[in-house]
Structure 1
Amino acid sequence: MQRARIGTTGLEVSRLTLGTMTWSRDTDEDEAGAQLDAFLDAGGTLLDTAASYADGGSEELIGRMLGGTVARADVQICTKAGIRRTTHGGVVDASRDTMLDTLDASLARLGTDHVDVWLVHQFDAGTPLDETLHALEIAVNSGRARYVGVSNFPGWATARIATLADRRPSIAATQVEYSLLQRGIEREVVPAAAALGMGVMAWSPLGRGVLTGKYRSAIPADSRAASEHLAGFVEPYLDDRAGSIVEALAIASEGLGVSAQETALAWVLSRPFVATAVVGARTAEQLVPSLRATQLRLPPAIGDALDEVSAIDLGYPERR
């Protein structure tokens, strides 16, 4: 598997990142271990998790693996903070004390003294960006995080925190949703990241699983769309527009002799601004086509056709 640098930093990561959102909840330890083995065997390096995934269960599972068969030096870890648990559910909180307390708890669960990438999980309109930035600075200066970034930030906030940061420390990455079904970041986030030297980490490059084609005729009983806690996550991409894109993708994939999953992921990886794509799977078997996609180069005609069918309206002021 090829590697790429995150923005203008010296951090080099695998083109695919292994997402672990379902680990310890929908994916048990044995299955997670099989996924990790396949990922590392394919040349993958970066694991993506968050303090909020399974209420810390994902990080705990990774920690058990690092304490057993997997050496810490063989993997890079990205985790996130900024969603605080309450009795009423998760609350966005990127204040300095919550961010740093969450990081310390993450490190304890992971069984490591540092993470390679630490991200603000979500933009917090109630906390000054300078305060959130101070938490990132403390994490880097204390050695608890090697690089820092943001996730799910709008374009203006991405540019603002990166400008405030200057070099204390620089904001290395923005992790945002990007796929044939969701190209909204092309409006402002991508130009901001490019201008400020930030790398784009694309999460859900398979359109929350819809681009695999599994929902073309029905909702499988073992799918995310049938899951009580993930159905709402998938539902926005089961509309007519998504259906048209999925059908075009299926036709293109049939012509190439590969799966829709491989074609959709290869399209994301072909975008010059994407440093790495975060792929998750419930089973190791589901992960295999994603690993194959790193070797697929789409013919220009196929890429152009998928660009056209999934294009978004830019409009004013991005385009006049």
Structure 2
Amino acid sequence: MQYAKLGRTGLDISPICIGCMGFGDPSRGYPSWSLDEDASRRLIRHALEAGINFFDTANLYSNGSSEEILGRSLKDFAHRENVVIATKISAPMRDGPNSIGLSRKAIMTEVDMSLRRLGTDYIDLYQIHRRDRTTPWEETLEALNDVVKAGKVRYLGASSMMAWEFGKTLYLQKSNGWTRFVSMQDTYNLLDREEEREMHALCIDEGVQTIVYSPLNRGRLARPWGAITARAETEAVYNLGAATADSDKLIVDAVGAIAEERGVGRSMIALAWLRRNPVVAAPIVGALKAEHIDDAVASLSISLTDDEAARLEASYTPRLDHQGVSDPARLRRAAEAATGHSISRLPVRELGKAT
């Protein structure tokens, strides 16, 4: 495994990050399809044996159970100094006041709770899951700086915001002498390339790299068009691609064609395409099976030609949504117009929730 520095930091990370949303006790909360601890431990160990040292979780996942399982597994299977633990904050964790968001009180409370669940005395990369628009941004940024200065966090990362917001954020951090964000966790894949418009150029200029979630567009790029998984049947967000279905099908078909020509899996082609973009530090692979990890590692040996990349990119159509920050009601109306069906059954929070 070849490791690389994350952005302008000295932090060594593997070019594959294991997403831990699928590790946890489903009885404790979202998601309903997560693996139990025994199955999760096997996958974490398999990833470590493959040379992967980068793991991403969040306090939200299975209401803290994901952090607990990851922490116990890494304690048993790895040396703490060799692994990079990334977790996230902002989602509601309990009933009552101060249980959600990025206020100073919430950050100081939740960082300690994450440390306790992970069984470690520091977090390598502490990321804001979504921006808290009810708290002054300066309050959030200063509190994040303070948890770094307290030794509880090594680096800070952002996620899912507009490029102008991220640019303003980096300016505020620099002008106040606060610890800056070193990474941006965002959606980016062959079916959703909106970050190429502004965010990627900003990140390159600022020396920030992206950590990509949903690199396979929730599995769409890993299977033939129209194939449905158990997860797809249970999550409302899968219905939001209807407006671009025609062009999406052409892209998925192109992935399949190139995979067949090369004799490799579809996911390997989609992940190899991501690596052509230097702003991408690592895709977050949500592994639920050992072969998901194996395919991700195997993708590192694939270099697409310019012609293959052009075939994959030719049919792209811009998205309506952008990083989960578009207006949910507008998204609902657009999806209804595209499908001709009412989707009023979708909870509003499903359309823009943290993933």
The normalised TM-score by structure 2 is 0.81
- Matched letter for residue 192 of structure 2: Q
Match among 185, 190, 199 for residue 180 of structure 1: 190
Q: 1:310 offset after TM fit, Å?
A: 2.7
2:67 matches 1:63? no
Distance in 2 between residues matched to 1:139 and 1:234, nearest whole Å: 36
Where do 1:163-174 residues align within 5 Å? 163-166=171-174, 167-174=177-184
Pair 1:309–1:3, CA change in 2 (3 A):
farther
Alignment partner, residue 83 of structure 1: 91
List gaps (5 residues or longer) in structure 1: 314-320
Is 1:219 aligned to residue 223 of structure 2? no
Residue in structure 1 matching 2:278, options 272, 283, 290: 272
In the alignment, which of 102, 113, 118 is matched to residue 105 of structure 1? 113
Which residue identity lines up with residue 212 of structure 2 in the other structure? A
Change in 2 beyond 3 A, CA 1:40/1:192: same
Given that 1:84 and 1:98 are in contact with CA atoms closer than 8 Å, whether structure 2 keeps it comes out as: no
1:58 deviation in Å? Answer: 0.3
How far 1:312 moved relative to its partner? 4.0
Post-superposition shift, 1:199? 1.4
Letter in 1 for 2:102: A
Amino acid aligned to 2:240: P
Q: CA contact under 8 A between 2:221 and 2:270: conserved in structure 1?
A: yes
Q: Deviations over 1:86-105 (max 9, x none)?
A: 559x9861112112211110
Q: Which secondary structure state, in structure 1, belongs to the residue aligned with residue 219 of structure 2?
A: helix
C-alpha distance 5-310 of structure 1, shift in aligned 2 (>3 A): farther
Matches of 1:52 and 1:17, distance apart in 2: 18
Matched, 1:285 2:291: yes
The residue correspondences of 1:1-320 to structure 2 (distance < 5 A) are 1-24=1-24, 25=26, 26-87=34-95, 93-166=101-174, 167-213=177-223, 216-220=225-229, 223-227=230-234, 231-237=235-241, 239-310=245-316, 312=318
Structure 2 SS opposite 1:304: helix
**Preserved CA contact (<8 Å) 1:224 1:234:** no
Task: Determine if contact 2:44/2:73 at 8 Å carries over to the other structure.
Answer: no
Q: Is contact 1:175–1:203 with CA below 8 Å preserved after alignment?
A: yes
Amino acid at match of 1:235: N
How far apart are residue 171 of structure 1 and its match?
A: 1.4
AA aligned to 1:270 is: R
Percent identity between matched residues is 33
**How many angstroms apart in 2 are the aligned matches of 1:218 and 1:200?**
29
Counterpart CA distance in 2 for 1:285 and 1:29 is: 18
* Aligned counterparts of 1:98 and 1:188: Cα–Cα separation in 2: 31
- RMSD after superposition: 2.0
SS in 2 for 1:84: coil
CA contact (8 A) 1:115 1:144 kept: yes
User: Cα deviations across residues 184-221 of structure 1 (Å, max 9, x unaligned)?
Assistant: 1111211221222211111111111111015x24323x
Q: 3-state SS of the aligned residue for 2:77?
A: coil
Using a 3 Å threshold, how does the CA distance of structure 1 residues 93 and 175 change in structure 2: closer, same or farther? Answer: same
Distance in structure 1 (CA, Å) of the matches to 2:2 and 2:84: 15
Residue deviations 1:17-40 (CA, integer Å, cap 9, x gap):
000001013212222222222222
SS of residue paired to 1:310: coil
Inter-partner Cα distance in structure 2 for 1:247 and 1:91:
44
User: Counterpart in 2 of 1:316?
Assistant: none
Compute the displacement of 1:247 (Å).
0.9
Name whichever of 258-267 and 5-14 sits farther off. Answer: 5-14
Q: Distance in 1 between matches of 2:271 and 2:237?
A: 19
AA matched with 2:195: I
Asked if 1 retains the 8 angstrom alpha-carbon contact of 2:91 and 2:101, the reply is yes
How does the TM-score come out when normalised to structure 1? 0.90
Q: How many residues align?
A: 306
Paired residue secondary structure (2:55): strand
Structure number with the higher strand fraction is: 1
1:53 CA displacement: 0.8
Gaps of 5+ in 2: 27-33, 320-355
Q: Distance in 2 between matches of 1:91 and 1:186?
A: 34
The offset of 1:156, in angstroms, is 1.2
- Contact 1:7/1:199 (<8 A) preserved: yes
> Contact 2:41–2:69 (CA<8 Å) still a contact in 1?
no
- Aligned residue for 2:324? none
- Structure 2 distance, partners of 1:311, 1:13, is 32
Residues 129 and 158 in structure 2, CA contact (< 8 A), matched pair in contact too:
yes
